[in-house]
Structure formats: structure tokens, C-alpha cells
Amino acid sequence: MDSITQMLLGGAIGGAVLGRRLGRRAVIGGAVLGTLPDLDVLIDYGDAVADYTYHRGFSHSLFVLAGLATLLTALAVRLARGRGGGLSTIAPGHWWAYFTLCLLTHPLLDAFTTYGTQLWWPLTTPPVSWASIFIIDPLYTLPLLAAALVGLIGGRVVSASRIGLAISCAYLAFGLVAKSLIDDRLSPVLAERGLEAAPRLIQPTPFNTLLWRATIVDGEAYHETLIGLLDDAPPRLETFRRGATLEDAAQATAAGARLTWFAGPFLRYATQELGDETTLVATDLRLGFPGYHPFRFTLARRVGNAWQPVASQQLDAGARDTREALGQLARRALNQAPLCLGDHVARRLVIGAERC
């Protein structure tokens, strides 16, 4: 999730755990703890793909953060006893709960998004992603913001924090239920096409949990559809080229292999002329939506009949009217207007589409 939401989540947890003892300081300290894992964005890992895929790595590991919480607990207990007063009466278990919950809920919330989080670092398992909430969702953030304002301004730290957390957690649960309902609507359509075993990704569209986007990988092709909770018709698939003939060449590069580990099969490959060179480009299909994928990376350049790896660079997503696209998604979410994803994609990528 975005850093502001993570800060508010940490503050709410801090207020709920130690608000009675620390008051507003519990909220402020929790907010600081809630932002710590994202400081890894300041690290330069060497190239664009490395920066992209090592983010939410060691700093989001449950193992690392649990260890850090234990160290902070020992430090807090020692300092509190040295200073005396009310702080010295806080039990070590309460300090541990404070630091552990403020830190560990950050990566756990991130795991609800599509990007994925390396919860089990240093194990090499792929990032965990439940993909049930968009990376920015006001309906999740607003209860936490209200809790922070009531706690910091009104002084009702504990009750405000607990109410804010209860509402935000209920919204997370709603997202999981909504995703399950969308999957139930999509499954019969895929079964009719023999795609029930194909890799699929279902995720909410920007800023809401009413309209969901499904991506299904099928060899050279991938299929896309939008499914709304308010829809009264079955999903219709639109089909696009994935550039699978370039997949082996891409995965032969270190950056390409790393992207595959990170994003799984949800990658599209293409060649692009950059200056005097023909470049192999990979696009992460998970983030954004057709025509608006922000994460595109160079992997190699053609030398004769072979591909030579290059230091990966992130390409500009291109100047597009994203506000208009978001408006179309909003109308589609309310089932007010149809929307064809293929209208936003270069025609050479479109294989075919059912009538929208």
C-alpha cells in the first residue's frame, strides 16, 4: 500500500496496543514504525529490474521484522526502567506486541496488493500476493485517517484506533469475499474455453473493489476481462498477443529470469526500436491495465542474430490520458457504460475480442 496508509495503519495499531499508557505518543511512534519497511526504496540495487524486484524484500521479511521488534523491545524495556515513572510499568510483553504488530502488519497489508511481498525472505519463494485490494484505496485508508485525527486531536486514542482498525479490517475481508465471487463468475467462462487450468490473476481496478480485472495467460495469447460486482451479464474475454516467441530469449538474461520469478507468467514481450538498436522489452501485465502498464523494462539488444543482455532500464509508459481511462473504469464499475480494453491497446497486439 501507499506510505501514507502504512503510516496510518501503524499509528492505529500503536494507539490500540499502548494508547492507554503512552497516549498520543503511541500513535506517533506506531506511525514511524509503520513506515520503516518502505525505506528500502532508498537503496540502489544496480539496475531497473533489480530495483523493481528487490523492493519489498529483506525489509518486508517477517523474519527480519520479528527480530527487529525483539531488539526494539529489549531496548525499550531497558530505557524505560532507566527513566522510571509510568514507562517502567509497561510489561515487556506489551512492548513486544507494540513493536511486532506495528512492524509486521506493514508487509502483511502489502501482501494484499498485486505487486507482491517477499514475506519469507531470505527464502527464495516468489513474492506473496493475494491481490484483493488496489495499492491505493480510499475506502481502506479513510477509517484509519479518521482514527488518527480523533486520537491526536480529541485524545480518544484507544477507542478511535480500535474502531478505525475494525472498519479497515472489515473492508479487507470484503475484498477477499468480492474476489471469490468474481472468481466464481469467471470460472464457467474459462471452463467453456478449456482454460480452467490456465494461469489467472484476478485483481481490483484502481481505487475500488467493485470492478475487477482478470488476466489469463494462454501461451502466445493472454485474455483480459473486466467483471463488476454489479454486472448482470457473464464476462467477455478480449485476447491479446503476449510475444511468447521472445520468452526464451528474455529468460536467458539475468533480468528476464528475475522478472519471471517476480511476476510469474504475467509478462508480455516485444521488440522496440530505441535509437539505432532493436531492444527486447518485457512488460509486467499485472500492474496497471491494458494500454496503461507502467512497468516496462529493456532486457537485451539485438547483435546480429543474437540477443545481448543489457543493464535493464525502465521505459516511459507513454503520455496517455489516464484521467479519462479512470473515468471510464468508474462508469464501468457502476455498470453505467461498456468498456472495451482493446480500444486502449495498439491494434497490432489485439488478436480478437468478443463483442463488448
Q: What is the pLDDT of residues 235-261, one digit of tens each?
A: 999 999 999 999 999 999 999 999 999
Q: Which of 67, 98, 130 is the last residue of a domain?
A: 130
pLDDT tens-digit series, residues 263-311 = 999 999 999 988 889 999 999 999 988 889 999 999 999 999 899 999 9
Digit-coded pLDDT (tens) for 61-120: 999 999 999 999 999 999 988 877 678 889 999 999 999 999 999 999 999 999 999 999
> Is the per-residue pLDDT at 318 higher than 80?
no
The answer to whether residue 233 is domain-embedded is: no
SS (H, E, C) the chain: CCHHHHHHHHHHHHHHHHHHHHCHHHHHHHHHHHHHHHHHHHCCCCCHHHHHHHCCCHHHCHHHHHHHHHHHHHHHHHHHHHHCHHHHHCCHHHHHHHHHHHHHHHHHHHCCCCCCECCCCCCCCCCECCCCCCCCCHHHHHHHHHHHHHHHHHCCHHHHHHHHHHHHHHHHHHHHHHHHHHHHHHHHHHHHCCCCCCCEEEEECCCCCCEEEEEEEECCEEEEEEEECCCCCCCCCEEEECCHHHHHHHHCCHHHHHHHHHHCCCEEEEEEEECCEEEEEEEECCCCCCCCCCCEEEEEEEECCEEEECCCCECCCCCCCHHHHHHHHHHHHCCCCCCCHHHHCCHHHEEEECCC
Tell me how many domains the chain contains: 2
Q: Is residue 159 part of a domain?
A: no
Average pLDDT (316-329) is 79
Indicate whether 356 pLDDT > 70: no
* Residue 15: per-residue pLDDT: 98
In a domain, 224, yes or no: no
Question: Residue 276's pLDDT is what?
Answer: 85
Is a pLDDT exceeding 80 seen at residue 43? yes
Q: Report if residue 57 sits inside a domain.
A: yes
Residue 144 lies in a domain: no
Query: 167 lies in a domain?
Result: no
- Report the chain's mean pLDDT, rounded to a whole number: 94
Domain C-terminal end among 99, 130, 161: 130
Residue 118 in domain: yes
- Looking at residue 354, its pLDDT comes to 56
Domain termination residue (choose one: 87, 112, 130): 130
Within a domain: 288: yes
Between residues 343 and 142, the one the model is more confident about? 142
338 has pLDDT over 90: no
The model's pTM: 0.94
Please give the residue range of the domain that contains residue 273: 242-309
